[in-house]
Amino acid sequence: MRFKDFERIVFFTGAGMSAESGVPTYRGAGGIWREYDYRAYACQDAFNHDPEHVWEFHNYRRGIVGACAPNRGHEIIAELEATHHVTVVTQNIDGLHQLAGSTNVIELHGSLWRLRCDHCGNRHRGRENPLEELHCTACHSYWRPDIVWFGDTLNFENIQDAQHALQECDLMISIGTSGVVYPAAALPMVAKRSGARMVEVNPELTDMSVLYDVNFRTTASEALTEMSGA
Ligand code: NAD
Ligand code: ZN
């Protein structure tokens, strides 16, 4: 199983992709939802009720993630753009794929580094850390993290772009996702139906493991290093 035998690759990544960078995963050992009650921090109701409380949590996450650098796995994916058509479809909100140099990234769940104002439609992108000015520069309503929270719907165009890339690819590699968050978890099926070679990278067995032709039971950086070998 080597990259050189394929042309169009889609990487479908989850929290485990960034684990070697030191970003905590949601589930599993050290998972962030074990520490925090997400209902109090990551949903629209919580934000409507107490935006500053929600921002406290997101600033805490900005602090952790902002101190993390892309790992060798992110770098290998970015470098592949020199020789392959590469699309990254990620559930991560940490921006580490882009920081490593990937240019074709679909962020299904938004980004910790993007803000939007639901009052006037203003948007902002930046890695201020922590975010101190919590108010929209145009209308002074609270900025909202441009993240898909629990109960939010996914951006339709993102889903369409992801589906298109998955239909066209000849290799689809899932990395570090437990495959339990829908509708994202259903996307790899599109590639399978279109006849792509299916690879899973995860040190643990997942609900989705049976979907795949090849399973690397190891970390993202190790599996990617192996696949880039001669
Ligand atoms: P998850 O936490 O549910 O699952 C992480 C998976 O990664 C597990 O199956 C685990 O076995 C695997 N893993 C752990 N270390 C790994 C490594 N070194 N290499 C490869 N795999 C490894 O995460 P998920 O499936 O992405 O779904 C959770 C949701 O949490 C997503 O919606 C995502 O938006 C969000 N999230 C994002 C981040 C981030 O931006 N980095 C972090 C946590 C959660
Ligand atoms: Zn505004």
Ligand 1 neighbourhood includes 147 CB (under 6 angstroms): no
Region 131-156 average pLDDT: 96
User: What are 171's strand-pairing partners?
Assistant: 9, 197
pLDDT at 121 over 60: yes
The DSSP secondary-structure symbol of 143 reads P
Beta strands in the chain (DSSP E): 8-13, 85-90, 105-107, 110-116, 123-125, 144-147, 171-175, 197-201, 214-216
The DSSP secondary-structure symbol of 209 reads G
Ligand 1, atom 32, residue with closest C-alpha: 91
Which residue type does 201 have? V
Residue 109: both structure tokens together: 């769940």
pLDDT-derived band at 85, boundaries 50, 70, 90: very high
Report which of residues 213 and 24 the model is more confident about.
213
Q: What is the pLDDT of residue 27?
A: 62
| 8 A C-beta contact, residue 26 and residue 32 | yes
pTM equals: 0.94
State the catalytic residues: 109
**What's the rounded Cα separation, in Å, for the pair 7 and 21?**
28
pLDDT at 174 over 90: yes
Q: What is the pLDDT of residue 25?
A: 77
Ligand nearest to the CA of 121: 2
pLDDT > 90: what percent of the chain?
A: 86
Ligand 1 neighbourhood includes 203 CB (under 6 angstroms): yes
Residue 161: half-sphere exposure toward Cβ, Cα within 13 Å: 15
Walk me through the domains of the chain, giving residue ranges and CATH numbers.
Answer: 1-22+70-109+154-230 (3.40.50.1220), 24-67+112-147 (3.30.1600.10)
Instruction: Kindly report the average pLDDT of the chain as a whole number.
Output: 94
Mutating to test ligand 1, I would choose from 68, 158, 178, 206 the residue with most ligand atoms within 8 A of its C-beta, which is 178
Ligand 1 neighbourhood includes 152 CB (under 6 angstroms): no
Region 188-216 average pLDDT: 96
Q: Give residue-wise pLDDT tens across range 19-40.
A: 999 998 776 555 665 566 776 7
**What's the rounded Cα separation, in Å, for the pair 134 and 146?**
13
Q: What is the pLDDT of residue 179?
A: 87
The edge-to-edge listing of strands for the beta sheet with 197-201 is: 105-107, 85-90, 8-13, 171-175, 197-201, 214-216
pLDDT at 160 over 80: yes
